[in-house]
Chains A and B, each alone.
Chain A
Amino acid sequence: DGGITQSPKYLFRKEGQNVTLSCEQNLNHDAMYWYRQDPGQGLRLIYYSQIVNDFQKGDIAEGYSVSREKKESFPLTVTSAQKNPTAFYLCASKDREKQHFGDGTRLSIL
């Protein structure tokens, strides 16, 4: 079945550590997105990519980095510069009309 796979489902980060969240899609979509979800705030865009080897900052990119070396993959790194990383992270890809979402990764701080 086609879809978006996010891993791991749960992730823990120590202070000062970088962690990488995986997002893979087999839908052959060009555009991919990373959102952060906090209670009562809906989804906020971190980064997006319209095509391989290109990506753009969203509304809350500080403390995050991404790469897009392959069409299928759009990993998100939460760096130590992100002081409040505890959140639910959602990856999405987009066909011509709508976005398709993965099941998310919940990141917590140890």
Chain B
Amino acid sequence: AQSVTQPDIHITVSEGASLELRCNYSYGATPYLFWYVQSPGQGLQLLLKYFSGDTLVQGIKGFEAEFKRSQSSFNLRKPSVHWSDAAEYFCAVGPPISSGSARQLTFGSGTQLTVLP
């Protein structure tokens, strides 16, 4: 069964500092990987996704993530955090499109990001 682990429940960084949010997954094949962001009381917005190819993917709002197969990781990074980045971040894994499965994504438990002025 697929699973996703986000080991950091809460991270606090200062504005302008760099950020890395960790995500480890368990899946029988190369999965599709996603990072979503959620502001309080809102739905989830897709930041970026990895399907295949270049293991460093660029997303919106200056975020990037690197897929490392050997470590089963898909960590999210940003070089310089802005106060508006304070939110909850979810990593998710899904089956390959080729599997024909529409079942679902499996989400991590989330990492809450606080940004200090």
Contact = CB atoms under 8 A, between A and B. Distances in A.
Interface residues of A, number: 28
A98 B34 contact: yes
A62 interface: no
A33 B45 CA distance: 15
Given A42-B90, A42-B110, A98-B34, A33 B42 contact: no
A103 B45 CA distance: 10
A87 interface: no
A103 B42 contact: yes
Interface string A25-40: 0000011010100001
Contacts of A102: 43
A101 B9 contact: no
A101 B36 CA distance: 10
16 contacts: A4-B43, A33-B104, A40-B109, A41-B109, A42-B107, A42-B108, A43-B107, A45-B104, A48-B102, A90-B43, A90-B44, A97-B51, A98-B34, A98-B46, A99-B46, A101-B43
Interface of A: 4, 6, 30-31, 33, 35, 40-43, 45, 48, 50, 56, 58, 90, 92, 94, 96-104, 106
